[in-house]
Amino acid sequence: MMRIENGTVVGHDAMGPDYRVLTLKLPEVAPLAKPGQFIHLRLAQLHDAVLRRPFSIYRADGNHLSILYKTVGRGTASMQNLRLNDTASVVGPLGNGFPLDLASSVTPVLIAGGYGVAPLYFLARKMTRRGILFIGGAKAADILLADEFRALGWEVQVATDDGSLGVKGLVTLALDAWLQALVPNAQPEFFACGPNGMLKAVGDRAISGNRKAWLSLDRHMGCGVGACLACVQKVRLSGQETLARVCKDGPIFEARDVIWED
Amino acid sequence: MMRIENGTVVGHDAMGPDYRVLTLKLPEVAPLAKPGQFIHLRLAQLHDAVLRRPFSIYRADGNHLSILYKTVGRGTASMQNLRLNDTASVVGPLGNGFPLDLASSVTPVLIAGGYGVAPLYFLARKMTRRGILFIGGAKAADILLADEFRALGWEVQVATDDGSLGVKGLVTLALDAWLQALVPNAQPEFFACGPNGMLKAVGDRAISGNRKAWLSLDRHMGCGVGACLACVQKVRLSGQETLARVCKDGPIFEARDVIWED
Amino acid sequence: MTPTLDITLAGIRMKNPVMVASGTFGYGPEYADLVDLDKLGAIVVKGISLEPWGGNKTPRMVEVSGGLINAIGLQNPGVAGFIGKYMPFLRKHDLAVIVNIWGKTLEEYAEVAARFDGVEGIHALEINISCPNVKAGGSSFGTTLESTAKVVAAVRAKTKLPIIPKLAPNVSDIGAFAKVCEDNGADALSLINSFPAMAIDIETRRPILANISGGLSGPAIHPIAVKLVYEAAKAVKIPLIALGGITSAKDAIEFMIAGASAVAVGTANFTEPLTALNVIDGLRDYLARKNMTRVQELVRSIRI
Amino acid sequence: MTPTLDITLAGIRMKNPVMVASGTFGYGPEYADLVDLDKLGAIVVKGISLEPWGGNKTPRMVEVSGGLINAIGLQNPGVAGFIGKYMPFLRKHDLAVIVNIWGKTLEEYAEVAARFDGVEGIHALEINISCPNVKAGGSSFGTTLESTAKVVAAVRAKTKLPIIPKLAPNVSDIGAFAKVCEDNGADALSLINSFPAMAIDIETRRPILANISGGLSGPAIHPIAVKLVYEAAKAVKIPLIALGGITSAKDAIEFMIAGASAVAVGTANFTEPLTALNVIDGLRDYLARKNMTRVQELVRSIRI
Ligand SMILES: Cc1cc2nc3c(=O)[nH]c(=O)nc-3n(C[C@H](O)[C@H](O)[C@H](O)COP(=O)(O)OP(=O)(O)OC[C@H]3O[C@@H](n4cnc5c(N)ncnc54)[C@H](O)[C@@H]3O)c2cc1C
Ligand SMILES: Cc1cc2nc3c(=O)[nH]c(=O)nc-3n(C[C@H](O)[C@H](O)[C@H](O)COP(=O)(O)OP(=O)(O)OC[C@H]3O[C@@H](n4cnc5c(N)ncnc54)[C@H](O)[C@@H]3O)c2cc1C
Ligand SMILES: Cc1cc2nc3c(=O)[nH]c(=O)nc-3n(C[C@H](O)[C@H](O)[C@H](O)COP(=O)(O)O)c2cc1C
Ligand SMILES: Cc1cc2nc3c(=O)[nH]c(=O)nc-3n(C[C@H](O)[C@H](O)[C@H](O)COP(=O)(O)O)c2cc1C
Ligand code: FES
Ligand code: FES
């Protein structure tokens, strides 16, 4: 079930130099939100934009829903101008979301790149158990929410491209080291959100280790509700190749189902 | 000489319920401004508008230039959101302006409709002598600056369509009564800014009374600088019919030169 | 008195003249949480071909000033897939169902039409002879008078349903295309489809869309579409369904004044899913304000 | 190293490939207070006819989403008026002067061309066969291959100046029009002119423009123009001058990658008179960033 609703800005704060958290009052949408789902946001400030912008749900508390975003283009730039009491139209919650009912023997392993940590934090808050978060980024300023995860009782390992925080290199480096050291009967299950390269790398490890990996795909979107077929991803469903809609059938796919092309 | 300059908002105040005064710091444009000229304003807020919006210069004091505007459409609506320290691009001053060197025997008679009072106030402030202002509008709230004119020592006569201020009816009613009562050797010269109907009526009176009338025409504009030929008005120049550009050859025309077509 | 909005267009009864455009509203269920389908005049479903079709590679869509370019490539589940998967849902709703059809050959167009003839709950066929995104058929059919005539005649021969050719915008003389459709048995016309267009990534110097080019839709094309509708209305007597950049009742009313009997909302569904409903309300308010009692009074009412 | 921007296009030497488009920059003096003309590659002056011409009634222009519709109707002072009034000014400046010409008949086109042949300070003639706003000639010439060929050949016969037909956008196969111009002696092509378009005042139900319809220009048409330039570049070898909705260096660079050797800024002059200068600076910065030494490296550099 999705809704369309005008949200009122009730919070808009910087998170480090490059990211912001926008909190909207959305009494209809917020209570429906599940980790891994997203909203489709329209900005009155951006008169001439025909497309909404998709953002993962970072928090949903009562009537309030937050997203965590980075300014990359004109839509996100215009979002920066949103002030308290401004409104923005929201369609959501959209997409399938992460599976939440894990077998009790499973250890959740989250892998985040950049703002990909947003839906994973929502996931961690909704999970009854704890696990480990691997978080990567270009530099220290791209490593968000590590302390918040620790506060929830999660282990956190950090990797940055420039070595300014945690290990230097890709986040999969840290992941590989950890996997190597795993006890044989451990049952890690992966949940990843970040750039395609990272998702694919996580998926490869899951498949070769015979584990499950839930990947949150990032695709340019038109409608966001499954109508336009702009966002398709080649997948294998019950053995058959088909085109899934990332917005509706995803954005979360199990690694085995995804057929990566070039 | 015209300039293009980014103006910083240094004032933005309501004048009655329907009008606002926007004051920009324009160190290059403001000192060049003459009464009857206008500026062409671009609003960053209105991304998708390809045309600037023309506004008469209401005041020009040192580095500051003000316009007095009414919200009628999307451009003026977006202007309302301008806050202190915002910027707006200005091209100006544009157009010819009113003649300022009147024979000493001449009595200036200003006739204003709605925001048409803005350039006339600038004119009154720049004239060394005093005269009379006839100001008309739909209702009391459309009668602006009457007290300011009186403070400059001008006589002011008011007409409103609904009779909520001054005489009830068209401003030309008041004008006609005044003209009737004129001493024979009086030499009124008219300066008018307002709706076309009013301009034409003033022009007709001037021509039949063998007086001069300087009319400020209001035309939808493209370039504002004489390049696009969107704003033309049929005029008589040295006996010949021709198309004048309201933005460049005007906006002020002498009544005899204007050829009104339905 | 509340003005009445219901119309009968080419024999199709609709409670109002506002439809949602092919390719922008899926097959019905996609927007059903947000938009009460029973309030719409009609849905035109995404283009259907004989067999399932995969469409183009991604990226398939890019936003540009005042619109978007899409090159979906007509991905669809095929006639049987569509009927099986979506018609049960659509039959439960109170709105006209218009099926947009296409083929890679003349024979395929005819065959698709034949397959839909007599299917319960389908009110008309819209013939897409103008999709800029399928090379094998689509585009080329709609840009010559001869092939336009052939497709329309071929479909006409195979169905008793009302048929509605959807014209390409990139022609010099839309009136001639409208006329050739009318002469070959079209019951109404849809105009227009999106414009061939292209965007290039200046960093990579590659086209942004995998298909190189696509079709421009959205507010950018509205004034061009109004002109085309105005020209087509002068050329034919059959009713016109206008689309292209509608975002508000005002845009729709312009189309109707220019000559359209009905309108369809496309890209604006993405921007604001409630657009079609807003258009219906705005149209009703406008008619009331103008003291018109029936929406038909607006059609072709331009004053020159 | 600073990249070099100078080009020689159809024999016309320009210090950079950025021009201002016909009808949007007057005859030179109008914007001279704001824009240093000596920095522009070329000016294309407002369309000139044999005799002075009054153009259409007002309103002549209306703003729409992402652009404007104009129906100026080619008001101009005629050949003699233009030469007498504006050429002395233009000759004092260091930029190429391209005169946009039009006629109501084939003979008039030829005659205008003849009159400009040998006039000092004129570098080329742009032939407007595509103005949507003059019914007697303009539009119709540019939308059939036959009349396009005739106009180009007629002008070719009368001048030694480089000739640059300006193509209409509302055709199905721009490549064919480009080719027929090339075959009939065109030295370069300009594309594109504005699109036939229309806006209606829903309160009065009358067209907003006195001329009923006009030409759409501005950002709205840019993605369509890019596609047309890309197609024309595949069809001909002569250089292309691209225009349509340029507001930034990015828009210009897209055109050059798609196939244009030069670009012209039109409607954006009204929005932001410094656009052409910004495009020049942005183009230089881009080339430097991409390690290109000459602007020619960009032309037709699309990667498919
Ligand atoms: C399911 C999903 C969840 C997302 N969650 C977040 C999040 O939590 N925080 C966050 O900062 N960003 C998130 N993104 C990316 C976010 O949607 C883009 O950063 C945003 O759309 C950029 O808009 P723009 O106008 O600033 O950029 P522009 O580049 O100007 O946008 C142009 C067009 O491209 C699209 N686009 C550009 N970048 C992306 C991208 N990375 N993914 C999808 N579309 C893109 C825009 O939506 C728009 O249609 C998510 C994307 C998806 C698909
Ligand atoms: C020389 C001159 C001086 C002016 N001085 C003033 C002034 O001092 N105060 C003031 O409030 N207004 C003044 N106007 C009118 C002002 O330009 C319009 O109110 C304004 O352009 C409306 O813009 P919009 O986007 O709000 O309206 P919209 O209706 O959304 O505008 C659409 C288009 O129409 C044009 N337009 C609409 N109304 C007018 C109009 N009355 N005149 C010219 N173009 C119009 C706009 O510029 C725009 O291009 C003046 C006009 C001219 C020509
Ligand atoms: C994503 C997308 C998919 C489309 N698919 C189809 C289609 O399958 N068949 C068709 O005839 N038109 C299709 N169209 C064209 C629209 O129906 C419509 O003609 C066009 O978008 C112009 O209207 P608009 O500006 O309101 O969007 C599609 C348009 C878009 C944006
Ligand atoms: C007000 C106006 C007047 C124009 N006059 C002419 C003209 O006289 N001759 C011509 O060939 N094109 C004329 N054009 C078309 C432009 O030169 C250009 O082809 C078109 O506007 C598209 O470019 P743009 O989107 O950058 O404006 C005119 C355009 C405008 C807006
Ligand atoms: S964005 Fe439209 S189907 Fe996914
Ligand atoms: S507005 Fe362009 S000539 Fe006056």
| Nearest one of C36, C121, C72 to A226, comparing CA atoms | C72
Percent with pLDDT over 70 in chain A: 100
| pLDDT band with cut points at 50, 70 and 90 for residue D134 | low
Q: Is A67 in the pocket of ligand 1 (CB under 6 A)?
A: yes
- How does pLDDT run across C104-118, given as a tens digit for each residue? 889 999 999 999 989
Give the number of other CB atoms < 10 A from CB of residue D296: 17
What mean pLDDT do residues B101-120 have? 93
Amino acid present at C287: L
Give me A130's structure tokens. 């704890």
Domain span at residue A51?
3-94
Give the integer Cα–Cα distance in Å for A134 and A182: 15
Give me C93's structure tokens. 């709703």
Residues B68 and B179 in one domain: no
Residues B114 and B167 in one domain: yes
What mean pLDDT do residues A251-262 have? 93
* Any domain includes A99: no
Residues in chain C: 304
Give the count of domains, chain A: 2
Q: What is the pLDDT of residue D137?
A: 46
Hey, are the CB atoms on C70 and A4 less than 8 Å from each other?
no
| Nearest one of D242, A53, B51 to C63, comparing CA atoms | A53
Give me C268's structure tokens. 């604006």
| Nearest one of B74, B76, B88, B72 to B10, comparing CA atoms | B88
Residues B61 and B133 in one domain: no
Look at residue C78 and give its three-state secondary structure. helix
In this structure, which residue's CA is closest to atom 23 in ligand 1?
Answer: A75
Interface check D215 vs C, CB under 8 A: no
Q: What is the pLDDT of residue A262?
A: 62
**Chains A & B: contacts with CB separation below 8 Å:** 6
Which stretch of DSSP H or E encloses residue C126? strand C124-128
Ligand 5 centroid to residue A218 C-alpha, Å: 12
Does the structure show a pLDDT above 90 at B46? Answer: no
Give the integer Cα–Cα distance in Å for D148 and C22: 36
CB under 8 Å to C14, separation ≥6 — which residues?
C6, C7, C8, C41, C42, C95, C96, C262
Nearest CB to C254: which of D168, D202, D250? D202
Residues A83 and A129 in one domain: no
> Phi and psi dihedrals of C54, rounded to 5?
-85, -15
B188-193 vs B107-113, strand pairing mode: parallel
Nearest CB to C72: which of A1, A91, A228? A228
Angstroms from B48 CA to nearest CA on chain A: 6
Annotate A54-121 with DSSP letters as a single string.
EEE--EEETTEEEEEEE--SHHHHHHTT--TT-EEEEEEEES--------TTPEEEEEEEGGGHHHHH
Q: What is the pLDDT of residue B251?
A: 98
User: Quick check: C262 and C14 in contact, CB under 8 A?
Assistant: yes
Residues A78 and A158 in one domain: no
Q: Which long-range contacts (CB under 8 A, 24 or more apart) does B158-161 make?
A: B159/B134, B159/B135, B160/B136, B161/B136, B161/B137
What class has domain C7-298? alpha beta
- How does pLDDT run across C156-193, given as a tens digit for each residue? 999 999 999 999 999 999 999 999 999 999 999 999 99
What mean pLDDT do residues D79-101 have? 98
Residues A53 and A128 in one domain: no
Annotate B119-178 with DSSP letters as a single string.
HHHHHHHH-SS--EEEEEESSGGG--SHHHHHHTT-EEEEEETTSSSSEES-HHHHHHHH
Residues B78 and B144 in one domain: no
Ligand 4 centroid to residue D220 C-alpha, Å: 14
Give the integer Cα–Cα distance in Å for B240 and B235: 8
**Ligand closest in space to the Cα of C246:** 3
- CATH code of the domain in which A209 resides: 3.40.50.80
Which stretch of DSSP H or E encloses residue A41? strand A38-42
Q: Is D70 in the pocket of ligand 4 (CB under 6 A)?
A: yes
Interface check D283 vs C, CB under 8 A: no
- From chain D, the residues in CB contact with C67 under 8 A are 66, 220, 223
Give the integer Cα–Cα distance in Å for B125 and C33: 63
| Nearest one of D208, D215, D223, D157 to D184, comparing CA atoms | D157
Nearest CB to A48: which of C31, C65, C70? C65
- CATH code of the domain in which A12 resides: 2.40.30.10
Amino acid present at B236: R
| pLDDT band with cut points at 50, 70 and 90 for residue B35 | very high
Longest dimension (CA), chain C: 60
- From chain B, the residues in CB contact with D100 under 8 A are none
Please state, rounded to an integer, the average pLDDT across all residues of chain D. 95
Please say which residue of B94, B114, B149 terminates a domain: B94
Looking at B148-152, B178-182, C47-51, D70-74, which range is the least confident one?
B178-182
B53-56 vs B38-42, strand pairing mode: antiparallel
What mean pLDDT do residues D262-281 have? 98
Interface check D257 vs C, CB under 8 A: yes
Give the integer Cα–Cα distance in Å for C197 and D224: 4
Give me A246's structure tokens. 């990332």
Residues B62 and B110 in one domain: no
Q: Is A247 in the pocket of ligand 5 (CB under 6 A)?
A: yes
How is residue D25 annotated by DSSP?
A: S
Give the integer Cα–Cα distance in Å for C164 and D255: 36
- From chain B, the residues in CB contact with D32 under 8 A are none
Higher pLDDT, A193 or B104: A193
User: Quick check: A60 and A33 in contact, CB under 8 A?
Assistant: yes
- How does pLDDT run across C209-253, given as a tens digit for each residue? 999 999 999 999 999 999 999 999 999 999 999 999 999 999 999
Hey, are the CB atoms on C303 and D205 less than 8 Å from each other?
yes
CB under 8 Å to D131, separation ≥6 — which residues?
D47, D74, D102, D138, D139, D193, D215
In this structure, which residue's CA is closest to atom 7 in ligand 2?
Answer: B55
Amino acid present at A56: S
Does the structure show a pLDDT above 60 at D105? Answer: yes
Q: What is the pLDDT of residue D140?
A: 67
Please say which residue of B94, B118, B139 terminates a domain: B94
Does the structure show a pLDDT above 70 at C136? Answer: no
What mean pLDDT do residues A51-59 have? 98
Give the number of other CB atoms < 10 A from CB of residue D210: 14
Residues B115 and B191 in one domain: yes
Does the structure show a pLDDT above 80 at C133? Answer: no
Active site residues of C: 131
Q: What is the pLDDT of residue D138?
A: 45
Does the structure show a pLDDT above 50 at B81? Answer: yes
CB under 8 Å to D135, separation ≥6 — which residues?
none
Please say which residue of B36, B66, B94 terminates a domain: B94
Which stretch of DSSP H or E encloses residue A178? helix A171-180
Q: Is D196 in the pocket of ligand 4 (CB under 6 A)?
A: no
Angstroms from A251 CA to nearest CA on chain C: 16
| pLDDT band with cut points at 50, 70 and 90 for residue C304 | very high
User: Quick check: D162 and D101 in contact, CB under 8 A?
Assistant: no
Does the structure show a pLDDT above 80 at D136? Answer: no
User: Quick check: B135 and B143 in contact, CB under 8 A?
Assistant: yes
* Any domain includes B99: no
- From chain B, the residues in CB contact with D24 under 8 A are 223, 227-228
B:38-67 residues touching chain A, CB 8 A cutoff:
46-48
CB under 8 Å to D80, separation ≥6 — which residues?
D115
Q: What distances in angstroms separate CA C199 from CA A49, A194, C74, D187, one per listed residue?
A: 16, 26, 20, 27
Interface check B34 vs D, CB under 8 A: no
| Nearest one of A161, A198, A193, A194 to A176, comparing CA atoms | A198
A59-61 vs A132-137, strand pairing mode: unpaired
Higher pLDDT, C269 or A183: C269
- From chain B, the residues in CB contact with D26 under 8 A are 223, 225-228
Give the number of other CB atoms < 10 A from CB of residue B9: 17
Give the integer Cα–Cα distance in Å for A52 and A89: 9
Hey, are the CB atoms on A48 and B46 less than 8 Å from each other?
no
CB under 8 Å to C38, separation ≥6 — which residues?
C93, C94, C95
Q: What is the pLDDT of residue A43?
A: 87
What mean pLDDT do residues D239-254 have? 98
| pLDDT band with cut points at 50, 70 and 90 for residue C138 | very low
| pLDDT band with cut points at 50, 70 and 90 for residue B45 | confident
Residues A85 and A202 in one domain: no
Ligand 4 centroid to residue A114 C-alpha, Å: 46
What mean pLDDT do residues C7-30 have? 97
Mutate to test the interface with C, among D204, D205, D209 (most CBs of C within 10 A): D205
Residues B122 and B81 in one domain: no
Q: What distances in angstroms separate CA A6 from CA A34, A39, A41, A65, B72, one per listed residue?
A: 19, 12, 10, 12, 26
What mean pLDDT do residues A201-225 have? 96
Mutate to test the interface with D, among C57, C202, C303 (most CBs of D within 10 A): C202
Which stretch of DSSP H or E encloses residue B94? strand B87-94
- From chain B, the residues in CB contact with D61 under 8 A are 220, 222, 228, 230
Kindly indicate whether the ipTM for this predicted assembly is greater than 0.90, answering yes or no. yes
Give the integer Cα–Cα distance in Å for C236 and C257: 15
Residues in chain A: 262
Q: What is the pLDDT of residue D107?
A: 93
Nearest CB to C205: which of D198, D220, D257? D257
Angstroms from C301 CA to nearest CA on chain D: 7
Hey, are the CB atoms on D66 and C65 less than 8 Å from each other?
yes
Annotate D132-182 with DSSP letters as a single string.
TT-TTTTHHHHTSHHHHHHHHHHHHTT-SS-EEEE--S--S-HHHHHHHHH
Ligand 1 centroid to residue A72 C-alpha, Å: 8
Q: Is A214 in the pocket of ligand 1 (CB under 6 A)?
A: no
Hey, are the CB atoms on C219 and D173 less than 8 Å from each other?
no
Q: Is A219 in the pocket of ligand 5 (CB under 6 A)?
A: no
- How does pLDDT run across A1-22, given as a tens digit for each residue? 999 999 999 999 999 999 999 9
| pLDDT band with cut points at 50, 70 and 90 for residue D130 | confident
Residue B226 CA: nearest ligand 6 atom is: 3
Give the integer Cα–Cα distance in Å for D118 and D279: 32
Residues A88 and A47 in one domain: yes
* Any domain includes A262: no
In chain C, where the domains are located: 7-298
Ligand 5 centroid to residue A228 C-alpha, Å: 5
Hey, are the CB atoms on D72 and B243 less than 8 Å from each other?
no
Please state, rounded to an integer, the average pLDDT across all residues of chain B. 95
Sole residue written with tokens 């308010």? C285
Give me A63's structure tokens. 């009537």
**Ligand closest in space to the Cα of A221:** 5
Give the integer Cα–Cα distance in Å for B57 and B117: 10
